[in-house]
Chains A and B, each alone.
Chain A
Amino acid sequence: MKPTSHAFKENARAALGDVNLQKAMTNLRAGFVERRALMISRLPEWDGLRDEAVAIKRHTLANLDFYLESFERNVIANGGKVHWCRDAAEANATVLAICRDLGAKTVTKGKSMIGEEMAVNEYLELNGMIPVETDLGEYIIQIRHEGPSHIIAPAIHLVKEQIAESFRATHTKLDPKRPLDDARQMCDEARGILRQQFLAADVGITGANFLIAETGSSIIVTNEGNGDLTQTLPRAHIVLASLEKIVPTLEDAATILRLLARSATGQEFSSYTTVSTGPRRPSDIDGPGQYHVVLLDNGRSAMLGTEFEDMLRCIRCAACLNHCPVYEAVGGKSYGWVYPGPMGSVLTPTLVGIEEAGNLPNASTFCGRCESVCPMRIPLPKMMRHWREREFSRHLSPASWRWGLAFWTFFATRPRLYHAASGAAARMLGFFGKRRGRFRSLPLASGWTGSRDMPAPQGRSFHSLWKSRS
């Protein structure tokens, strides 16, 4: 997916005026936000589990090479294969080779953000395969040729009328006069269409919420059951996973799983949490004949030992998105790439570069709500600030802002000059503003006064009044 993060401001402006999107965003609150709070209120051990999860991930990352090698050994012992890939290009080539080897045509897919990073669908299509997204939200955006706007609910930006329209345009063999007024009808339609795809698929690709070193297993978490039909029915199961998905044991996965569904969708546990280990066994009567884990680096190892290492703890729950006032205002597409919201603002510059994605860590009020809800206690605002520091030191921020800041610092480090200037500014702005008490517009401040008034200063600075008092 080609990033448009550089156009964040324009994307956001369009999003603010998008009536359907704004309506859709109001669903976030009653859904994910309130339900998450309810789940947490029912689990007194919540903060203790978070602390353990952080410790597990820190330990794992400090020994990442050991655990990845253990994982690989166990995958192989169970009859599977691990394919190490440095970047998206290698990963895509690997997936294609596996598919070609099997003479595959139809490839069903469970939801995978790594797959989005790789743009694997596009690549497979270019090479003659038919990738079919099976998660309902992913299917909807696939047929609309869009990218996902939320990492858990990819079609959250759409209203049902838009979805019905896309179904009618795509499922052309069905009776055009059929009703598609509610979610039930659309779900049933998608169930029928995609069931045929599950059965026809030659290869099934899933992501992985976890990789388990102890057993050489991968874990996926879904509510629909699409990941299970994707991996069980075809001749091969391909798992797309980035390095940091690994945890040492099944018990370690259970600890983090207790945080995941509650943080993501406000459920105690997702409908289907599935642990997959290797291909079908000789005595099994179903299951894929091959099990491949595509282990993707794509910049992860480069984050180790840097000020962005904590981002490797992210479990992709999207709680930060759901609680972010900026995300709620502009939706996921504004961020211009795979990962939106606060986690996207930290991760995207790592993966596509700060020159492309500089707007993202800047478009934050640092309210800190994201960090407070993150199950993995990731200091998101701190890392966004680190990006701003890197931008500043590389002179990537606009010159006008650098000058403004230098101007401010010059005065702020010279109190006598500062007080004289603020005294003068208070008088001037106070004079012009006192009749109405506020300004509808101010030079150099159209970013502010475009959408709100500026209250006028009272007319004298505090320091000048304090001085004259004593």
Chain B
Amino acid sequence: MTDARADTLDGIRRALKRGKLDEQAAAPLAARLKAHKRNLIPKRAAGLDHRGQIALFTAMAEGVNATVARVASAQDVPGAVAEYLSRLNLPSRLVVTPDPALDDIPWAKRPLLEIRKGRAEDGDAVGVTACSAAVAETGTLMLHSGPESPTRNNFLPDTHIVVLRANQVAASYEDGFDQLRRKFAKPEGGFSMPRTVNFITGPSRTADIEQRLELGMHGPRRLHIVLIDDGQA
């Protein structure tokens, strides 16, 4: 049985009219990978100060049908969530990820909110998660999987509420990548990616029927971002 891997690599090398790259020839390529240099970053967000980036993030997120509520501190989150749910006549049962980033939210302040901590299941109407970063350039949230942040919580509930801290707002996707590299750095060098990194820009949508835009196809119908100023904005 011929080896598909060898055949494919041989075919590539034949087409490129050379053999396998030796260590010396491969060194600059390995270096390029290691350096992971940034390419051109648009000035749109990168050219702003942090307050400008927060404002841009908000505008861009709202531009893609996310909603953004600003609160002063973690203390105000339960109230903001309760107000949002009641305004839209949504159920007050929430599944909240067991994420330490949400530990300082005093849910007890709103006892009518029924909180379940854990993995989302089908039928959960409202899910609350934290996130790892927010990209001002396009109003995009970065979330990653982990023992305290199961990916399905971003997709199964009808309504996804994300608690975002102002100091998590960054300019670009590249800022998000660098954050992952720092957070998951390995002692021997390099870093280990989580299983899933989601870049989420607005709620789920489709235009597959006559190009008519409809929100909430398979993922959440609504994406609500509670932005904690923490004195940053």
Contacts and interface: CB of A to CB of B under 8 A. Distances in A.
State yes or no: do A and B come from one complex: yes
A287 B196 CA distance: 8
Interface in A215-266: 215-217, 223-226, 228-229, 231-233, 243, 248-252, 254-255, 257-258, 265
B9 A187 contact: no
Contacts of A27: 210-211
A188 B152 CA distance: 20
A45 B199 contact: no
Interface string A124-138: 000000000011110
- Most interface-central of A136, A183, A225, A267 (chain B CB within 10 A): A225
A66 B7 CA distance: 15
Interface in A130-160: 134-137, 140, 153-156, 158-160
Contacts of B87: none
B58 interface: no
A70 interface: yes
A184 B221 CA distance: 12
Most A CB contacts (10 A, CB to CB) among B9, B30, B33 go to B33
A385 interface: no
Interface of A: 24, 27-28, 30-31, 43-45, 48-49, 52, 56, 62-70, 78, 84-86, 90, 134-137, 140, 153-156, 158-160, 163, 182-184, 186-187, 190-191, 194-195, 198-199, 213-217, 223-226, 228-229, 231-233, 243, 248-252, 254-255, 257-258, 265, 267-281, 283-287, 295, 297, 301-306
B174 A254 contact: yes
B150 interface: yes
A233 B152 contact: yes
A268 B64 contact: yes
A130 to B, nearest CB: 18
B53 interface: no
Interface in B51-77: 60, 63-64
B219 A228 contact: yes
A287 B151 contact: yes
B192 A78 contact: yes
B15 A255 contact: no
Contacts of A231: 196
Nearest to B26: A66
Contacts of B212: 182-183
A274 B64 CA distance: 18
B64 A195 contact: no
A285 B9 CA distance: 37
A352 B26 CA distance: 35
26 contacts: A44-B42, A52-B40, A64-B12, A78-B192, A84-B4, A84-B5, A140-B209, A190-B217, A191-B216, A198-B218, A224-B206, A229-B218, A232-B151, A232-B155, A248-B32, A249-B33, A251-B37, A265-B207, A268-B60, A272-B201, A286-B151, A287-B196, A302-B11, A304-B12, A304-B15, A306-B15
A185 to B, nearest CB: 10
B145 A287 contact: yes
Contact of A225 (B30, B209, B219): B219
Interface stretch (B16-24, B105-113, B125-133, B225-233): B16-24
Nearest to A187: B214
Given A271-B200, A273-B198, A285-B119, 14 more contacts: A214-B33, A223-B204, A228-B151, A251-B37, A251-B39, A257-B173, A267-B64, A268-B64, A268-B201, A272-B219, A275-B193, A281-B146, A281-B195, A302-B15
Nearest to A155: B208
B58 to A, nearest CB: 14
Given A215-B193, A217-B193, A268 B218 contact: no
A217 B145 CA distance: 14
Contacts of B64: 267-268, 271
A297 B40 CA distance: 31
A95 to B, nearest CB: 14
Contacts of A225: 155, 204, 217-220
Considering residues A156, A224, A265, A306, which has the most beta carbons from chain B within 10 angstroms of its beta carbon?
A224
Main secondary structure of the interface of B (DSSP, over half): loop
Interface residues of B, number: 75
B13 interface: yes
Nearest to A225: B219
Contacts of A187: 206, 209, 214, 216-217
Given A45-B40, A224-B206, A301 B197 contact: no
Nearest to A24: B210
Nearest to B21: A66
A243 B11 CA distance: 12
A279 B193 contact: no
A214 B172 CA distance: 19
A199 to B, nearest CB: 6
Given A85-B4, A275-B193, A63 B39 contact: no
Contacts of B182: none
Contacts of B156: 229
A16 to B, nearest CB: 20
A349 to B, nearest CB: 18
A232 B120 CA distance: 12
- Which of B26, B43, B208 is most buried by chain A, counting CB atoms within 10 A of its CB? B208
B165 to A, nearest CB: 21
